Structure 1
């Protein structure tokens, strides 16, 4: 999806932020919600998982969680991909776990207008969803390690929390409605 943004200018009444990062643990639905949200807004979608270096993918596929250091280059790649369309006046939605406050701050360094859409889910549902996926490098055994490092968005962060167990269309409609009110 590489369409021009079809939204009001950032900051205009009823507009949505120029950059939205759909975040949360594996299995919460970041990609499904991100794709649908980008389509609803007529903006570019960035799949963060595709930007992992091969070494990171191999580590995760073997059941090894990534360290903060291993995530740095990946977060920078996502941040750069977010900043490019925003710098051209276009909107963007990205899927990225952004599990820690420091990761969200790193992404915001590339685009201060980012709003994070946190998809909240319980560990059992996340493990079940990841276990049922086909063809993805992330094993269900790593879900608990993601919950272990998860830092919920704080009140001083630009973030919206939604229930990831709701249908994708409902999550997207709620996100758009709430962001337009902000």
Structure 2
């Protein structure tokens, strides 16, 4: 039995998900550091055509995301194969995207960072040098399908201080006990 103060099992994968501006990268990196796991920035795996499309203000289609999600899934499968913990920052906005990622390894859990649109807009407007323009926020919220009760997911609000959010995420992950693979 895993206590709430211990780390999650070392062969687990956490996908930190949510709309652009929710803090996936910063919270994901901090959570990975806390757990002593590797961190993978999903945005770094987008092919140049996807980045150009988003930078021009066009949302990605399911087809645009297919190869990108497969690449992330390959990293998840490799982490599972070698028994290493991994935290991935990836929007994973639709259930179908999460299902594709979850199929890559038996011990994937999603950490959904959820927040009010006004806070997300404020964060997106304040960040510099990111390819995702504020103009795509409508498509992000329109695409978002929050995790269902039947998904292996934890939802946390982004309006708490980052350190407290990471603390709560680590605590909630530890509570998942043995993280039995979904059959």
Deviation string 1:76-131 (CA, Å, 9 cap, x unpaired) is 11111122122101100000000000000000111121000000011111111111
Relative contact order (C-alpha < 8 Å, sep 6+): which is higher? 2
TM-score by length of 1: 0.91
Tell me how far apart the structure 2 counterparts of residues 60 and 97 of structure 1 sit (CA, whole Å): 14
Tell me how far apart the structure 1 counterparts of residues 135 and 163 of structure 2 sit (CA, whole Å): 28
Secondary structure in structure 2 of the residue aligned to 1:110:
coil
* Aligned counterpart in structure 2 of residue 54 of structure 1, from 43, 48, 51: 48
Written as runs of structure 1 = structure 2, the 5 A alignment for 1:36-55 is 36-55=30-49
Please state how far the C-alpha of 1:57 moved relative to its aligned partner. 0.1
Matched, 1:102 2:96: yes
Tell me how far apart the structure 2 counterparts of residues 109 and 55 of structure 1 sit (CA, whole Å): 26
TM-score by length of 2: 0.91
Q: Which runs of 5+ in 2 are unaligned?
A: 177-183
Q: Which runs of 5+ in 1 are unaligned?
A: 1-11
Deviation string 1:129-156 (CA, Å, 9 cap, x unpaired) is 1111111000011011110010010000
Written as runs of structure 1 = structure 2, the 5 A alignment for 1:7-156 is 13-14=2-3, 15-16=7-8, 18-156=12-150
Contact 1:123 1:144 in 2 (8 A): no
Secondary structure in structure 1 of the residue aligned to 2:118:
helix
Aligned position for 1:177: 171
Tell me how far apart the structure 2 counterparts of residues 72 and 165 of structure 1 sit (CA, whole Å): 31
Deviation string 1:62-81 (CA, Å, 9 cap, x unpaired) is 00000011000011111111
Tell me how far apart the structure 2 counterparts of residues 143 and 112 of structure 1 sit (CA, whole Å): 32
RMSD: 1.0
Secondary structure in structure 1 of the residue aligned to 2:121:
helix
Contact 1:128 1:140 in 2 (8 A): no
In the alignment of these two chains, the number of paired residues is 171
